[in-house]
A and B are shown apart, each in its own frame.
Chain A
């Protein structure tokens, strides 16, 4: 009897869900499905959400796309790839969206991109950094906005090569992002500077760094310079222990993403000075596209934008531009339109390359400094992504032939 009631209970729940499964009516709007790790990583995704909401408002105020308003249906993936696939399925099969955008974590980006390939639906990955998404596991339906891990590594390796340092040690979170960041950086820097010696490496688990022990272990290898790939709470712990224990004294530090306000701001007056970082100095970007974005953002939210805001904003602007160019919501036409399209972003015009579907969005490289008790970036230069990507002829062979 218990099984019977169990089956009935299950059926009732399913029946309840069935009532939600009615396809939405009136096709007056163009629907875009958006997925991100809102509950898992709010420090990045909240500004990101504000960014795309601002872009949505601007696009619709200007008449939408082809006379139709855009509508974004946004889902949380809880930081789990499997849940992201469920959300993608809901957006595509039930809500009838014409494309998917978003995602933060690399594994979630890959899961959704594979879903997009299977279902033949257009997917614009906003944030995931893994090189695999456009190269070794790239597919026809997936495009990516943010500069890949490879590009950031190339930008930093270029700066690192100018340093006199010969002995290098690395600290990176122990997962794919950290591993590939270190691998690419090592490869590119060693190519430029064959005299360099790699004397130590530490791989703390993401989110669980035992900073004191890591700092001791790195100090023991007596490097001239250190590469850091940790971010978020791990970075804070590392910086605090490193500052107090004098690890960074007299040593150059090159650090991924540390100049992004999401990770720089929490360091407040303990921001280490003189680190070479990639990031986003929101109050030091001089181009008019950014000034307009900044003004609109601050007017709407009374807060300054983070890098996530720029990513969210540019993602939706790019989506709208692709829809406008395709003049269709057909996936194949969207892909054709997106290949080689140029889009305006707060960092200037970027192009989605035809060969690997990677945008040429760049990043800012500069040095950290302390100003009025806050961390800022100085000596900032914008590095155009196009200059740091392998040529299109080369990447063809890095992608699966599908």
Chain B
């Protein structure tokens, strides 16, 4: 019995530390609807700045003062980011903020290594709280007692701020209805800035408070970011108390879970999230999202199929691209094949996000299932490559069929997070099922058959399959099905009133997008000769979103341009520069700031304004 009490209290300490990290994100998420991907980066910055300050001011007071001062400094940085970067894109697609904060994260990850050096740093223990209490004969760190107190204390302060102050009233109003608050004459800009700064302050505080518990390293942000996102969503968007409950639930389940299943930690939070969202579509304490007013920035451009002249140009373009092997070497052909493969991947995601309005954070799952489907056909069943190019998409489509059924019952951010949860579950299966998938050592020796083995042959195969894939996606988009999908995106109620079934149509779209992503994944397996759990990972899903956002989510085929741009840039940057994340992050920030509608979106806007024959 006393043992279980000890485990419970240990779980509470973890919960508090998780809540402190997540609480700021919950506030930002709830009010501004920004999926602040840089939350982890600011958490890490809090720890690094806190490290410097607490080393510098070595008195007891210096320690606590250093932690608070570090949080204030980092909050200032956060406010600066909000004012200079995020403010520019509030009017655009809401995912653009995700991309922008992703860029910020990349920059910060390289910056901390440049500033603080590559070695892991050990922060000071908290003065006066170095030892342990005896709890039923078990030792329990006194610092954890402080954490257990700090979690609920922060919760109470935040709740008081939100419930008892005028600022809090405005924030809660903005959480419910942003436009209305603005219409009533509240200066939204400062409201958003203050909310963002407060959120970042809490993130940095959470990071700095970890100093006595862990090492400061440049991977801290990745350790925390998905976990806190998940906790916030489990709790229910914008509900800080829900976040607190979710943190306790996740931490306690982990603390007890590892007693029975020592490997459960890898996947626990995602399992919990999937279960919670399936049972409660808006999280533990969340409310259904208010019907959004016309998503701005999305429907400005009208879509139409290609005219015959354009089709001719596309055909010429493809023919010209097919001549590349005449001038290019093996490396360039491999890069070109990779770019083409990601064009198809991005196009599949664009069907969901652009036409369907269904933001998926887990599209990599289907890409990866395609890759594994192809690789397993070769390795387990000794089938040739051609069979792998079929089994891959079949496996991907099957995965999308199963997971899609659950996902389309949700909407908005919850839909996105459920796709993420399923993607992580698939990832963990690939990671753990060593006998079949090879675990994290992956499957190697997945090379193309002899007829496609040379770089030029493989390139031609890729260009053919990708061209057909993208053409099919466009046919789907301009078929009655595509119109139905867009109708549901633009107004679910009206679309259902004319007899369109949301679940069925979005489910089909989900499966189609999954199948095409899986075709891309199957090609990718043969291009690389190997498959790893990375091919299913969150970073790849984020890459996909970056591609369609850079290209223009409001366009028909922006993803294709975005994929070409993003993939070429990232390959070039990692090959040619020493601080590739820094450079890529800055490039993303610049591109997003210059073209909030994406490069293709900007181009289309320019055409509408300047080209005479283009009717609006």
Contact = CB atoms under 8 A, between A and B. Distances in A.
Q: Do A and B come from one complex?
A: yes
Interface of A: 1-11, 13-14, 16-18, 20-21, 23, 38-39, 42-43, 45-46, 75-78, 80-83, 85-87, 89-90, 92-94, 106-107, 110-111, 113-115, 117-118, 130, 132, 137, 174-176, 179, 201-205, 207-208, 210-214, 216-217, 219-220, 232-233, 236-237, 240-241, 244-246, 262, 265-268, 270
A17 B336 CA distance: 9
- The SS class assigned to the B binding surface is helix
Contacts of B307: 1
B259 A107 contact: no
A296 B574 CA distance: 31
B449 to A, nearest CB: 13
B506 to A, nearest CB: 24
B448 to A, nearest CB: 10
Nearest to B312: A4
A80 B217 CA distance: 19
A213 B7 contact: yes
Interface in B557-572: 557-558, 560-561, 564-565, 568, 571-572
B329 A23 contact: yes
Given A7-B321, A21-B329, A244-B130, 12 more contacts: A3-B470, A5-B561, A9-B564, A16-B568, A76-B580, A118-B529, A201-B262, A203-B263, A208-B227, A232-B120, A236-B215, A241-B213
Contacts of B442: 81, 107, 110-111
B279 interface: no
Given A4-B314, A93-B330, A213-B14, A237 B215 contact: yes
A168 to B, nearest CB: 15
A18 B328 contact: yes
A138 B524 CA distance: 24
A12 to B, nearest CB: 9
Contacts of A216: 6-7, 10, 138, 255
Interface string B310-328: 1001100110110010011
A53 to B, nearest CB: 13
A179 to B, nearest CB: 8
A10 to B, nearest CB: 4
Nearest to B564: A10
Interface of B: 3, 6-7, 10-11, 13-14, 110, 113, 118-122, 130-132, 138-141, 143-144, 212-215, 217-220, 222-223, 227, 251, 254-255, 258-259, 262-263, 265-266, 306-307, 310, 313-314, 317-318, 320-321, 324, 327-332, 334-336, 338-339, 343, 431-432, 434, 439-442, 444-445, 447, 455, 470, 474, 524, 528-530, 532, 534-535, 551, 555-558, 560-561, 564-565, 568, 571-572, 574-575, 578-581, 599-600, 603-604, 607
Contact of A233 (B118, B219, B565): B219
A210 B14 contact: yes
A85 B331 contact: no
A232 B219 CA distance: 11
A214 B310 contact: no
B250 to A, nearest CB: 10
A325 to B, nearest CB: 29
Contacts, number: 283
Contacts of B330: 89, 93-94
6 tightest CB-CB pairs across the interface, nearest first?
A42-B118, A7-B317, A236-B215, A10-B564, A93-B330, A93-B331
A89 B432 CA distance: 29
A106 B535 CA distance: 16
A94 B329 CA distance: 7
Name the residue among B313, B338, B440, B564 with the largest chain A CB count within 10 angstroms.
Answer: B440
A104 B254 CA distance: 30
B214 A83 contact: no
A267 B215 CA distance: 9
Nearest to B447: A118
B433 to A, nearest CB: 12
Given A4-B317, A176-B441, A207-B223, A21 B331 contact: yes
Contacts of A214: 258
Contacts of A240: 212-214
